[in-house]
Amino acid sequence: MKIPGKRLIPFWLGKKLRGAWQKYLSFRYRGTEYYCPYCGYHFRELLPGGTDLPVLTEKQIIGGGYRANLVCPRCFSVDRDRLIYLYLKKKTNLFSAPLKVLHIAPEGCIRALLMSLPNIEYRSGVKYYEGYYYDRKVNLIDVTSMPFESASFDVVLCNHVLEHIEDDQKALEEIHRVLKPGSWAILQVPISLTLQETFYDPSVKTPEEREKVYGQFDHVRIYGQDYPRILERKGFIVKQYSPSEDAKEEELKRYALNPDELLYVAYKK
């Protein structure tokens, strides 16, 4: 649910407190078992996270649900962020080529990485701040109607966003529009292993109903195994990347990845 009391303290103070809390946690959890590639710290364990709502277990939703060793104590990266890092490092030229990147609803750890790379021209945006933590320098952008020229980006990162958007078809059209031909997007969503078809019930409207039926108060559907076809219908070529393709079991464990989580990479023809 929404974070209570989030507006009771000014943003600058919240940022300072968050920084101090991160330093404390990274000291408290220091160790050798786990490694976060974003902040470069080692830990004996990571923080648990996620909720244990019945729907998340029943529908085997990858990217949702309670997980031990989920959140990096230092930079708050989660399993899918570290999977994305692995992919970017092993499969792309993101660390070296001059690329213009659009990052929707930017995860803090990925944003910090991209902003530190001198070869990247970086843009970021999010529609809502409420209930989430974003740096105030992130622009307000509606992904269903973006203020960017067509074919202007080499990469779009848009993770765990589409399940929040009523008109996800329009959002996908917009992402496709702003990408240059031959370029790519990472479009992760929570995805059910048991649902063959994406599930949506128009009678589900309130935050309480959405939490119960979809697993989060502001989700509007649960994507099923047809998700790649949804992307393909919008003109993308979809490739699924499994971390076990490249990483040894030891590396998967050190990054605390979910071996069942696939990365969905969508290419514009």
Residues that bind Zn ion (CB under 5 A): 36, 38-39, 72, 74-75, 77
Q: How far from each other are the two terminal CA atoms of the chain, in whole angstroms?
A: 39
**Count of positions (residues) in the chain:** 269
Strands (E), 105-207: 120-126, 139-140, 153-158, 179-186, 191-192
Nearby residues of 250 by Cβ (< 8 Å), 6 or more positions away:
none
- Residue closer to Zn ion by CB (options 85, 134) is 85
Around Cβ 154, how many Cβ atoms within 10 Å? 19
- Residue closer to Zn ion by CB (options 35, 236) is 35
- Residue closer to Zn ion by CB (options 2, 89) is 89
Nearest distance in Å: CB 77, Zn ion: 5
Nearest distance in Å: CB 223, Zn ion: 27
- Residue closer to Zn ion by CB (options 67, 74) is 74
Nearest distance in Å: CB 202, Zn ion: 40
Comparing CA positions, the residue from 165, 218, 162, 167 lying closest to residue 191 is 162
Cα atoms in the 13 Å half-sphere on the side-chain side of 261: 23
Task: Sort residue 170 into left (φ over 0), alpha (ψ -120 to 50) or beta.
Answer: alpha
- Residue closer to Zn ion by CB (options 39, 55) is 39
Nearest distance in Å: CB 71, Zn ion: 9
- Residue closer to Zn ion by CB (options 109, 143) is 109
Tokens of 74: 């230092």
Taking CB atoms, the residue at the shortest distance from Zn ion is 36
Nearest distance in Å: CB 13, Zn ion: 23
Comparing CA positions, the residue from 67, 79, 61 lying closest to residue 214 is 61
Nearest distance in Å: CB 76, Zn ion: 7
Q: Do 153 and 179 touch, CB atoms closer than 8 A?
A: yes
